[in-house]
Structure 1
Amino acid sequence: MIGRDAELAALLAAVRHAPSVVFVEGQAGVGKTRLVSEFAAACRDRRVVMGTCHPLPEAFPYGVLLDCLSQCGDGLDDPGPVTGALRAHLPELADRLPPAPPALGDPDAERHRMFRAVRDLLRALGPTVLVLDDLHWADEETRQVLRFVMASPPPGLSIVATYRREDLPAGTPLGRVVHVPHGRHLVLRPFDAADVRAMIDAIVGAEVTSEGFAEAVLRETAGLPFVVEETVRALRDPVRDVRADGDLAQRLLDGIDVPVLVADAVRERIRALPDAARSVVEAAAVLGVPETAEVIGAVAGEAEHLVDSGVLVEETPNRYGFRHGVARRVVRASLPGPRRRELHERAVAVLSGLDPAPLARLAAHAKAAGMTGEWLRYCELAAEAAEEAKDAATAVDLLSAVLGDPGLSVEDTNRLATRLCGYALTGLPGGVVTARVEGLLADPRLAPDVRGEVHLWFGLLLQRETGAVVRGAEELAQAVDLLADQPERTARGLAAMAGPYLGTASVAENRAALGRVERIVDHLPTPALRVALLATTLGGRLVLGDPSAWERVAQLPSPADVRDPDEVHHLARAHCNLADACSWIGHYGRAREFLRTGIALAERVAADYVVGTAEATAVRLDWLCGRWAGLEQRIDRLVATYGNLLLTTDLHLTRGWLAAARGEWVRAEEAFQAAGAHQVFPVGVSAAGGMAGMLLSRGQAAAAEEHIERGVAVLRSKGAWVWSGDILPQAVDCYLAVGRVDAARQVVAETAAGLSGVDAPLARAALTACRARLAASEDRDDAERLYREAIDLHRELGLSYRATQLAEQAEGAARTDAAVLDALARSYDALGATVDAARCRHRIRSTGATTPSRRGRRGYGSELSPREQDVARLLAGGHTNREIAQALFLSRRTVEEYVVKVRRKLNASSRHDVHF
């Protein structure tokens, strides 16, 4: 049982103070029966007798009471003479009851004797709990007997009664207010999201339900446990499906059939309604969303009986809707086609008179009513409104639906196809959006120039997604061929193809292609088009380390002077692209300045994709500059938001760096593989360096060499030594570890030559560090000088983590000073670099030196110590004791002791139950 601990405790407490009465109120499906069943099982110190009222056309007099009393023959103790009046009603107890008294001849007197007999029989049972479920269906005689008993209850009797207020024949459970000693009234509320999530986990047998799925189920079921359970059991693969999040979670729920038991319960209630109330419910089902009484009444043609049915509820002041979405689906599906169409026609007539008119809803109702012309008109108006509200996804959905209509004219098809492509690029594209744009290419109604535009936008969308780089370039090439007479569109395609981030073209080829595009910029007809091209070419030149890019940045307009939304959008993209380029080559301060401006501009026009790229860049900047607090949670959020876009490769790279520094090697390997899975540069090169560095820290130099060779091969083939900062140090370390000193010297020499005349602060700092590493075995003085220079360069760039690593390397090259190593370990601890801190402490222990404890107290009590936190995090990541020992430079025996402590403090029955 989920979420009812307080109510169960209240029931148990009430019966300990007999005589007592507890009413349990709640709507259908909220869990009243389950609660009293759990209560009956938990109430072990007294007899519990349960009975259920039934929805019969004419209820049997005293029916539920007689059902309950018939179960109690073995518990009777000295029933009084008056109980003989029940012999004819309770044949099961005839041998235990006194003889029936003579008839009185007065119906009122007979009735009074009957009431007394019931009360006396309950007294004869001793300490007893009488549980009456669904009291709203009880007959009037039963209610009167209960009022009589409660007025003077037997000392050991407790009564627990459940009911639905909406189904009571009068205002109270017993028809009038009755005051009783120790009376309680419990109202069972629907579950909240946390309870829904816990219930779903209990149903599937594992804690795997995503927060988004639980929230989607809550919206669909209104948190009613019965509906939640039936809905989850209707999923095709519950264990898999409940992990879904976001839009996918809602699509999975929309795709299931309404559970049979839920549908039957709703239909039963609808059939019992009078015609007027049923019309109101049907109108609300067709309208689909909570509406005012006036709108529902106008569509239904019936203003009364709005909430009499108990099916509709007032969700907000004067806004009525269904208790849960499943009920609405059942009612709508049960409507005959002509009736449903009639209600949709009425909805169009009523909603079109509102100010402002709900355009998207009008489009949906017009389509359902078969009003094709109105559907097209409202779709276009709704798409325009969505664009003005910066809701590109809605605009795309609306126009895609219209374009899928084979009856649409050629003129309308071409006009709307062009608009659809423009909408698709203004927001966050996803697999569904891209597929819809692709689907247009198969439409024979498209004119050649429009088909060229579709190829252009489709190619650009593919570039934003993962795994479609080559195909995106092919689409752009087709667009350029078809749009030869439209220079501004051609330039957009050429600019995208010239970008150095994608494809295998060399740096020289990228520069030449960028130059061809730049020659077009001044001839474009509008400022927005000029800024759109500069957004691509400026970032492209800068990430290649071209010093002339800084002079070209002056061609961008000042943010304060830009008003046109399109121009603002592209200026935001330009600043964020420049921030990204700066973050790759080492201008971190400038990167943050561009980010601030770019994000502010993007938020002015709700350019979500631009904000996404900026956030991914900011995450990588924070990693590089040692701002790791909360970084993993930010990455999780961004990956969930932009999961289908190319920018997630950047996020996976940062996740890999972070996990490797913490010793979470499984997660790091998965992240580096995800980052390097596509031809996105320089992400792939950096991912190869990150993977190699992690493998080297584990002593796997041969495996690291494979990644180094792949990354260095890319640098050579593209001539992109400007991107070597994240792989060159690992390459030199790897080559030296496998005895390839000549290869180490060669890659350093190639980098030095490749950086001639290139703006690349990070790569130059890394090159200096590699020269120090090579000098360490030959000239100590030269090595110390180069290490000092490299450390200073990294600190000037703000790279605290890499500067600390270089200081540790320099210490190892010169001597082993325990105090210095201890200071370095503390620097690593401040960052959260678990593996590096553990390595420094291991080196201290290897010298035999000790360092003083800086803590004021020695114990952590029930809290985890810092080392126990490291072990807990690695345990939660699925690492074995051997892997934990390797990551933290501890013995297996020490790790085993830590694992025992962690499990005890976290109350985990096994290592697999550790969550941290």
Structure 2
Amino acid sequence: MGGCANPLSVRSGSVPLVGRDAELAALLGAVRHPPSAVFVEGQAGVGKTRLVAEFVAAARAEDARVVLGSCQPMADPFPYGVLLDCLSQCGDHLGEPGPVTGALRDLLPELADRLPPAPRPLVDPEAERHRVFRAVRDLLCCLGPTVLVLEDLHWADEETRHVLRFVLANPPPGLSVVATYRREDLRTGAPLGRAFHVPHGVTGVNLVLRPFDTTQVRAMVDALVGSAVTSQRFAEVLAGETAGIPFVVEETVRALPDPVRDVRLGSAAARRVLAGIDVPVLVADAIMERMGALPPEARAVAEAVAVLGVPEPIDVLDAVAGKAAAEHVTTLVASGVLVEQKGNRYGFRHDIARRAVYAALPGPRRWDLHERAVAVLSTVDQPPLVRLAAHARAAGITGQWMRYSELAAEAAEDAKDVPAAVDLLSQVLADPAISAEDTNRLATTLCGYAMTGLPGGPVTARVEGLLSDPRLTPDVRGEVHLWFGLLLQREAGEVDRGAEEIARAIALLGDQPERAVRGMAAMAGPYLGTASVAEHQASLGRVEEIIEHLPTLALRTAMLATTLGGRLIVGDPSSWERIAQLPSPSDVHDPEEIHHLARAHCNVADACSWIGHYGRARTFLRTGIALAERVAASYVVGTAEATAVRLDWLSGRWTGLEQRIDRLVDAYENLLLTQDLNLTRGWLAAARGDWMRAQAAFEAATGSFPVGISAAGGMAGMLLTRGEAAAAEDQVERGVALLRRKGAWVWSGDILPQAVDCYLANGHVDAAHQLVAEATTGLRGFDAPLAQAALTACHARLASDRDEADRLYREAIDQHRALGLPYRATQLAEQAEGDDLADPSVIDALVQSYDSLGATVDAARCRHRSRGIGVATPSRRGRRGYGSELSPREQDVARLLAGGHTNREIAQALFLSRRTVEEYVVKVRRKLNAPSRHDVR
């Protein structure tokens, strides 16, 4: 057997009805009050048949008699065809047919033995026709309470329409008629031939099924894949590509390479995946069947629209199709092939339909239409450069393809659409017919574009692809290695590979230091690799010697952006004098210089946030973000947002922080900066008792310094809270080993207190003293406010004299408050009280402080201590009655339930008994109307 099949390739027919609850209720409500007439209108694929199937099942479940018939797409439909099909099924339910029903005896041989003898034919055809109409009504009356469902009434013959008008004008008292139709396929303007008004006493309902909106598309995709995993962005893209037509949505999802994985994608990735699948066979068949019914001239206009790719006005369609398009567009719109859009432009209802028509075009016809498109679009005001490049390529006009691609890439780069710029040039470079001179020029341009936007995915892959091009000169190949390495270093999991590429680049450009300096600066950064801080500082010194001789301000600023942050983050006091050398933002006007100055300010802000200069960090961050937004430097903005999130955590601004982190991780998926975001996510989750989420986040934050060290400290603190001291010490040893290897004690602020606590909890007092002694020595001469404050706290923890310990605790608390770290200051205040904490007012103050932050675990621990001394702490909110709303404690339980925690884990996190947690779970489920604990979201 071959590989694993697409999990949705086999149809089960069991996907629940989505997005039509109101319509289903209207149908059922109508047939519960006969006589009734319900007309369900909707374009092809919008879900009329699916709705009817659900309706029939629900009606039969209520013991209704339902008779179902479907009209067929025939050029000359049979007279009374669908009605006779339905009536032929009803022999077992006939009462006493009247004499007039004999007129149907020859038409319904299945009922011949139950009908009266056929009457003598009348001479007047209209009189005979009237008798047949009366016979149909009488026979329906004999059936008693019945629901007659007629699908696709647009294909019915005229006699069927007329007899339905006759019957519904005075319907049998127990009859309900439900009819579906497509307005675009009606031969007349109304489903019954002419406008029909439901008479008094008859329940009338007219439903129009609209395409799904994004929410409904998302719900449908979740139903198809069997899990609520579809991302909002994927649903938005899919809704746009399919116009929200349920049939097209379903077939498209079934055509995905890996639906369960693909539906989780963001916007850009979703567009790539959807563009890469073939048009689903059933959708293509339906589209081409409709195209086949068109007159040749109208079909030619539709083909021109398919090639043009986007809706266009009549004059453009005229010129490209070579036809008088106006009269044929009317036919195409009336038939539902095209739709009118803003600006009197005409296009397909959804792109899947356009692609189906395009794929069916013979090569010569397709090439001719593309060539016509180039000729027409090149003459309009503001020519669409990207489309002109695509049309020229498809028409085989290589020179114009390259010219338009370069112009379009330049415009895309100006608009900060880096992926588009890179993709345009990559397509040209992939053509072996392009000259070596053009190849080297375009490759250099492409790499420059790639570095201005977000790395990852196709952009990095495009740059990597250049390395296999034999047309590159050694100098250009060296630069491509450099750009590729720099891009890789921004991606999670690719840091070491990026360093290897940069090393290759430096070797190839070794005799041109002004071109290799960016790689040298990247390799000198202390964030990555195993070299010591001292080695990195020496490397930075060599780079700084070169910077002074660089020819342009933009290049000098670019290098300073890397070296200044690199020096400051290891606590080099001389960094502040060097930072003062940066140009003033008001003096910089060139976009490239603005971009690099933004990067410099954001890198300095990030360095400040790691060593403890939080006020300065926010100042530099504000300037850096403002500069980056002036030139839409997306990666710089991303790094700044990650730094801002961490600063907000440290300063106790936790409201909405989790949602911000989720949004940013989604936006910057697979980039190195997500490790920083995951660190903050871990800290936040651990403080709220969401240990599963915290552990996953800490484990995802281990790729670089100092993030990995802080993640080890965060994990150790969480494990210690859970009573897992041995496992906590393992984490400490890992983090401390990184500190010792790098000699970067300036990064110890987020692990030293946890390390000392772990060592003491495990009885390793000597190890705690040794670590504090190493840190004390290692921090001498370095600018490290956070690490120094943490070191003071450690000295307090290890002090043997109570008075000395109290003094050191007060000093440590003051230092943390001065730094703006309320959470750590509150923890130290609690720790300073030790095991003797019994003052209700002190406990209450701690609880209020923790509650104001949202530190669930710490607040719960203090409440537990309060209960232990027989004092009840007040609720974080005044009133006790919450009605159907969740109380604060119920919110905590609900959040942990949603995270997948067991009752035992919730009890441990909130310092509650298992029985109390069980009671809370019952209340939460009831208030959230959740059938099970797994449904709490």
- TM-score of the superposed pair, with normalisation by structure 1: 0.96
Q: Distance in 1 between matches of 2:896 and 2:214?
A: 30
Aligned to 1:866: 888
Q: Distance in 2 between matches of 1:93 and 1:210?
A: 55
Indicate conservation of the 8 Å contact 2:863/2:872, yes or no.
Answer: no
Aligned to 1:689: 713
User: Per-residue displacement from partner, 1:230-277 (whole Å, max 9, x unpaired)?
Assistant: 222333443333333333333333333333222221121111111011
Q: Distance in 1 between matches of 2:757 and 2:674?
A: 29
Aligned to 2:610: 584
Q: Distance in 2 between matches of 1:470 and 1:21?
A: 71
Aligned to 1:520: 546
Q: Distance in 2 between matches of 1:189 and 1:364?
A: 34
TM alignment of 1:735-754, pairs within 5 A: 735-754=759-778
* Worse overlay, 805-814 or 372-381: 805-814
Q: Distance in 2 between matches of 1:454 and 1:240?
A: 32
User: Shift of the alpha carbon at 1:852?
Assistant: 4.7
Q: Distance in 1 between matches of 2:765 and 2:149?
A: 85
- For the pair 1:102 / 2:120, whether they are aligned, the reply is yes
Q: Distance in 1 between matches of 2:891 and 2:182?
A: 50
Indicate conservation of the 8 Å contact 1:150/1:178, yes or no.
Answer: no
Q: Distance in 1 between matches of 2:872 and 2:52?
A: 64
Q: Distance in 2 between matches of 1:513 and 1:669?
A: 36
| 1:575 to 1:856, Cα distance in 2 relative to 1, 3 A | closer
Q: Distance in 1 between matches of 2:874 and 2:494?
A: 56
- For the pair 1:453 / 2:473, whether they are aligned, the reply is no
User: Shift of the alpha carbon at 1:663?
Assistant: 1.4
Aligned length: 911
Match of 2:189 among 147, 160, 171: 171
User: Per-residue displacement from partner, 1:296-352 (whole Å, max 9, x unpaired)?
Assistant: 332222213122442111233422222222222221111111111111111111211
Aligned to 1:143: 161
Q: Distance in 2 between matches of 1:852 and 1:529?
A: 60
- For the pair 1:636 / 2:658, whether they are aligned, the reply is no
Aligned to 1:32: 48
Match of 2:920 among 898, 906, 913: 898
| 1:91 to 1:589, Cα distance in 2 relative to 1, 3 A | same
Indicate conservation of the 8 Å contact 1:780/1:814, yes or no.
Answer: no
Aligned to 1:162: 180
* Worse overlay, 865-874 or 163-172: 865-874
- For the pair 1:227 / 2:248, whether they are aligned, the reply is yes
Aligned to 1:338: 364
TM alignment of 1:467-506, pairs within 5 A: 467-506=493-532
Match of 2:678 among 652, 672, 676: 652
* Worse overlay, 447-456 or 17-26: 17-26
Indicate conservation of the 8 Å contact 2:84/2:107, yes or no.
Answer: yes
User: Shift of the alpha carbon at 1:45?
Assistant: 6.0
Indicate conservation of the 8 Å contact 1:811/1:817, yes or no.
Answer: no
User: Shift of the alpha carbon at 1:285?
Assistant: 1.5
| 1:890 to 1:390, Cα distance in 2 relative to 1, 3 A | same
- For the pair 1:261 / 2:249, whether they are aligned, the reply is no
- For the pair 1:87 / 2:105, whether they are aligned, the reply is yes
Indicate conservation of the 8 Å contact 1:586/1:760, yes or no.
Answer: yes
| 1:183 to 1:907, Cα distance in 2 relative to 1, 3 A | closer
* Worse overlay, 584-593 or 137-146: 137-146
Aligned to 2:206: 185
| 1:256 to 1:153, Cα distance in 2 relative to 1, 3 A | same
Aligned to 2:903: 881
| 1:260 to 1:681, Cα distance in 2 relative to 1, 3 A | same
- Give structure 2 stretches of 5+ with no counterpart: 1-16
User: Shift of the alpha carbon at 1:486?
Assistant: 3.6
Aligned to 2:14: none
The SS at the match of 2:451 is helix
Letter in 2 for 1:900: V
Letter in 1 for 2:112: A
Indicate conservation of the 8 Å contact 1:660/1:694, yes or no.
Answer: yes
User: Shift of the alpha carbon at 1:48?
Assistant: 2.8
Indicate conservation of the 8 Å contact 1:135/1:161, yes or no.
Answer: yes
Q: Distance in 1 between matches of 2:824 and 2:408?
A: 53
Indicate conservation of the 8 Å contact 1:494/1:517, yes or no.
Answer: yes
Aligned to 1:63: 81
Indicate conservation of the 8 Å contact 2:419/2:458, yes or no.
Answer: no
- TM-score of the superposed pair, with normalisation by structure 2: 0.94
Q: Distance in 2 between matches of 1:469 and 1:41?
A: 58
Match of 1:821 among 843, 847, 864: 843
The SS at the match of 1:132 is strand
Q: Distance in 2 between matches of 1:240 and 1:441?
A: 30
User: Shift of the alpha carbon at 1:864?
Assistant: 2.2
Letter in 1 for 2:721: S
User: Shift of the alpha carbon at 1:589?
Assistant: 0.9
- For the pair 1:849 / 2:865, whether they are aligned, the reply is no
The SS at the match of 1:126 is coil
User: Shift of the alpha carbon at 1:855?
Assistant: 5.0
Letter in 1 for 2:42: G
Q: Distance in 1 between matches of 2:837 and 2:111?
A: 97
- For the pair 1:717 / 2:741, whether they are aligned, the reply is yes
Q: Distance in 1 between matches of 2:696 and 2:879?
A: 39
- For the pair 1:422 / 2:458, whether they are aligned, the reply is no
- Measured on the aligned residues, the alpha-carbon RMSD in Å equals 1.9
User: Shift of the alpha carbon at 1:196?
Assistant: 1.5
User: Shift of the alpha carbon at 1:478?
Assistant: 2.5
Indicate conservation of the 8 Å contact 1:277/1:308, yes or no.
Answer: no
| 1:745 to 1:279, Cα distance in 2 relative to 1, 3 A | same
Letter in 2 for 1:697: T
Letter in 1 for 2:266: D
User: Shift of the alpha carbon at 1:189?
Assistant: 0.3
Indicate conservation of the 8 Å contact 2:105/2:117, yes or no.
Answer: yes
Q: Distance in 2 between matches of 1:100 and 1:28?
A: 41
User: Per-residue displacement from partner, 1:624-650 (whole Å, max 9, x unpaired)?
Assistant: 111111111111111111112111110
User: Shift of the alpha carbon at 1:594?
Assistant: 0.8
Q: Distance in 1 between matches of 2:394 and 2:353?
A: 20
- For the pair 1:297 / 2:318, whether they are aligned, the reply is yes
* Worse overlay, 857-866 or 425-434: 857-866
User: Per-residue displacement from partner, 1:118-140 (whole Å, max 9, x unpaired)?
Assistant: 22323333333322211111111
Q: Distance in 1 between matches of 2:531 and 2:296?
A: 73
TM alignment of 1:232-311, pairs within 5 A: 232-302=253-323, 303=325, 304-306=327-329, 307-311=333-337
Q: Distance in 2 between matches of 1:518 and 1:389?
A: 33
- For the pair 1:732 / 2:756, whether they are aligned, the reply is yes
Identity of aligned residues (%): 78
User: Per-residue displacement from partner, 1:649-692 (whole Å, max 9, x unpaired)?
Assistant: 1011111111111112222111111111x2x1111111111111
Indicate conservation of the 8 Å contact 1:210/1:243, yes or no.
Answer: yes
The SS at the match of 1:183 is strand
User: Shift of the alpha carbon at 1:370?
Assistant: 1.3
Aligned to 1:535: 561
User: Shift of the alpha carbon at 1:756?
Assistant: 1.7
Q: Distance in 2 between matches of 1:891 and 1:103?
A: 89
Indicate conservation of the 8 Å contact 2:851/2:876, yes or no.
Answer: no
| 1:101 to 1:814, Cα distance in 2 relative to 1, 3 A | closer
Q: Distance in 1 between matches of 2:269 and 2:307?
A: 24
User: Shift of the alpha carbon at 1:616?
Assistant: 0.2
Indicate conservation of the 8 Å contact 2:608/2:616, yes or no.
Answer: yes
User: Shift of the alpha carbon at 1:14?
Assistant: 2.8
* Worse overlay, 267-276 or 255-264: 255-264
Q: Distance in 2 between matches of 1:670 and 1:605?
A: 35
Letter in 2 for 1:400: S
* Worse overlay, 604-613 or 828-837: 828-837
Aligned to 1:4: 20
User: Shift of the alpha carbon at 1:877?
Assistant: 1.5
Indicate conservation of the 8 Å contact 2:521/2:543, yes or no.
Answer: yes
| 1:854 to 1:804, Cα distance in 2 relative to 1, 3 A | closer
Q: Distance in 2 between matches of 1:909 and 1:178?
A: 46
Match of 1:706 among 718, 721, 730: 730
| 1:380 to 1:593, Cα distance in 2 relative to 1, 3 A | same
